[in-house]
Amino acid sequence: MNKLTLHDRAALVSRIIAALFGGYALAALMSVATLALPMQRSNAVFSGMLLSFLVYAGAVIWVFAVRSARRAWAGLLVAALPLMAGAALVGWRGLA
């Protein structure tokens, strides 16, 4: 029977945290960033809500599909950057 080393356990815990909290953060950013799209506010809110479920599921799959926990966190950060820009645009316009 194989024993998991401390490094393996830490990587697994890091991936779980990335999936739970990083995925949630991406989904929340997606919901807010869609308010910057040129559409009616009610449609933007509905679209953001639907897209957030896809983004969360994709983030969880991504975190466990890459080779290392470091790449998982890096991928979440890269995906979050344009969403943060869109969310900031919403905040500056006062659309929220």
2-25 pLDDT per residue, tens:
788 999 999 999 999 999 999 999
Query: Which whole number is the average pLDDT over 87-93?
Result: 84
pLDDT of residue 91 exceeding 90, the answer is no
- pLDDT tens for 33-55 read 999 888 998 999 999 999 999 99
Q: How many domains does one find in the chain? A: 1
pLDDT class of 95 with cuts at 50, 70, 90:
low
Mean pLDDT of the chain: 92
What whole-number distance in Å separates Cα of residue 93 and Cα of residue 96?
A: 8
Token representation of residue 17: 């945290």
What whole-number distance in Å separates Cα of residue 47 and Cα of residue 67?
A: 32
Radius of gyration of the chain (CA): 16
- Examine residue 49 and state whether it is found in any structural domain, yes or no: yes
Our CA angle for 82, 10, 84, nearest 5°, is 10
- Examine residue 89 and state whether it is found in any structural domain, yes or no: yes
What whole-number distance in Å separates Cα of residue 18 and Cα of residue 83?
A: 17
Which residue segment(s) compose the domain that 62 sits in?
A: 41-96
- Examine residue 36 and state whether it is found in any structural domain, yes or no: no
pTM score of the predicted model = 0.86
- Examine residue 74 and state whether it is found in any structural domain, yes or no: yes
- Examine residue 16 and state whether it is found in any structural domain, yes or no: no
Query: Which whole number is the average pLDDT over 85-93?
Result: 86
- Examine residue 30 and state whether it is found in any structural domain, yes or no: no
